[in-house]
Each structure stands twice: as structure tokens, then as C-alpha cells.
Structure 1
Amino acid sequence: MISTIVRFKLAPGETHEEALEEIKKTIPIYQAAAPALIRKAIHLDAEAGVGRSIYLWADRASAEAFFARASEMIKAKTGHAPDVEYLDCDIVVDNQSGDVIFN
């Protein structure tokens, strides 16, 4: 498993509500990435003009393929490519399902 932390800039002057509405439109993209994309969390800070997403992927190749496409989409919208950090994920404790997953 691979975790990714993605840091991105919001469009200039974009409010929290506007950013949230734009991201809601992209939800089908993330749903279509299953089963390779296990989880995604989104964090917005409109005051600072930035956002962060944390992903859990089944494998690095899937994550890299996804971000090769998604980075271009983000750059086209904001003028800035996101910063993507890849982290090997050794253990996931999922309190919702009760599962503990070892990589």
C-alpha cells in the first residue's frame, strides 16, 4: 500500500465554498479509481489559498498513473502543479470497519 499527501493551490481568490463545490464535481473521478484508490480525505484552507489531500492506494503504480493525469487537471485550473509525496504504508488501522491491514 502507498499513502500520498498532495499539496495544491486553490484558484486565486477562491473561497472555501467555491473550492468545495469544485471538488464535489470531481468525486466521480475518485470513485472510478477504485479498487486501486482505497480512501481519500480532502482538507481546504481558503484563507491560505491551499488544499491538501491524503490518499491510500493499493499500489504505487496506480497512484503514479492517477497523478500523471490529475496533476495536469489541477495545473490547468490553478496554474500550479500539485506537490505529490509518496509514502510506503506499513499498517492501516481502520476503526470504522475494525480491520487492521498489514502491507
Structure 2
Amino acid sequence: MFTGIVEEVGTVVLREDQPDSAVLRIRAATVLEDVTLGDSIAVNGVCLTVTAVDGDVWSTDVMAETLSRSSLGAAVAGRPVNLERAVTPTPASAAT
């Protein structure tokens, strides 16, 4: 789940186009503080999965359909992107 509140503005470092997808490498700081592979990070409001982390740069795969239907289709090296980590759900405390 996401709140819609941008935590930081990252920068696209690389876009590697594939036949039916693309790999984005994004430079960030705050959203990588406690990230692990498989975590979700919203990029310009699109939920994406962390596939690799190398220092302050993380990678994600984006399918062609997502590229064609979102602002990520215009993501190129040097372009800023809004980043937000997923919220960790916590159970409500039981009424006593």
C-alpha cells in the first residue's frame, strides 16, 4: 500500500529497452535505506519491484504495457522521478 506522499525525487540513470519490457536503473537515497530485493517502490505512482541494488542505484523491470500507459514511457537517463516506499501494514491494537 502507498500513501501517495513522495519521499524523494530520484534520477533515472539508465533505461535498457527489451523486446517487451525495459530495465530502469534509478539513483536514490531515502527509499533505499532499508530496501531488500522484492520490495515495492512507487515510481511516478507506478508500483515497481526492486530487482537489484548497487550502492545508491536500484533496478526494476517495467513491462511494455506499463510503459505505454504511464509516465514511465518517457523515462530516460537524467529524468527525475518521484519515489515512495510501500507502507508496512500494522494491525490495529485490540480494544480492551
| Structure having the larger proportion of residues in helix | 1
Q: Same fold (TM over 0.5)?
A: no
Taking structure 2 as the reference length, what is the TM-score of the superposition? Answer: 0.37
Taking structure 1 as the reference length, what is the TM-score of the superposition? Answer: 0.36
